[in-house]
Amino acid sequence: MTASTTRSSDHTGPGPHPVSGGPIVQLPTAFGDFVAQAWTDLETGHEHLAVSSPNPPKDGRAPLVRLHSECLTGDVFGSYRCDCGEQLAFALELIHAEGGTLLYLRGQEGRGIGLANKIKAYALQEAGFDTVEANEQLGLPVDARSYTAAGQILAEMGLHEVRLLSNNPDKQNRLAQAGVTVVEMVPTEVPSREQNLRYLQTKKDRMDHRLALDVEPVTNGKTSAPHPFDNNQDRTDSQ
């Protein structure tokens, strides 16, 4: 896996989005050894992180790529209100095993509405609104995320054709607009939970996410995709 430390030209309309990449460093994790590179979106100031497997993709296939939107509650605190933390763990294990990159996109908390507004939306969900309705009640977009910088980062890293780890076809369309070809959509569905089943059902019904939701939700114990804080002593490196 190669990555660039070059800086694209200034963004003056159509053309490359201005991003700047830093040094590439080793990143040993509970999911295996990776290499990491920080990237700065020079238009917004947001700092993103590319976490890549040091192993090339198997059988000459296009690399796996996960665009993972920042989710403090799910990724750090292991919240079961969403499936973000478990999808993050699933993606890192699969990328380590098969080769590819996870782009951790900051500034995208709550599908781009920010942490404070996300907690306000949670309060509305507890009052009976679904995740789409809650954003609308706040006068906010249902999904305010942009993937322009992500597409440019992938291009700078030489990743022009990818296998996208996502249940969201909108990400495929957005990457295509940014000049990155998605040759395959690889599902990242993890077992639903009692606490997030309505949230996932709303994403399937109202946001066109490719979810089966045909199994009994997990009510206790671990799923097949452990959270990073789980004990990994007996875990193998394959998914």
End-to-end CA distance of the chain: 20
Q: 96 and 133 in contact (C-beta within 8 Å)?
A: no
Residue 38 and residue 21 in contact, taking contact as beta carbons nearer than 8 Å: yes
**Distance of alpha carbon 121 from alpha carbon 47, whole angstroms:** 25
Q: How many residues does the chain have?
A: 239
Catalytic position from the list 145, 163, 174, 193: 145
Inter-axis angle of helices 148-156 and 169-177, nearest 10: 70
Distance CA(110)–CA(101), nearest Å, equals: 22
237 annotated active-site: no
* DSSP character at residue 157: T
Q: Indicate which residue of 130, 143, 170, 230 is catalytic.
A: 143
Decide if 145 is catalytic: yes
Residues annotated as catalytic (active site), given as ranges: 143, 145
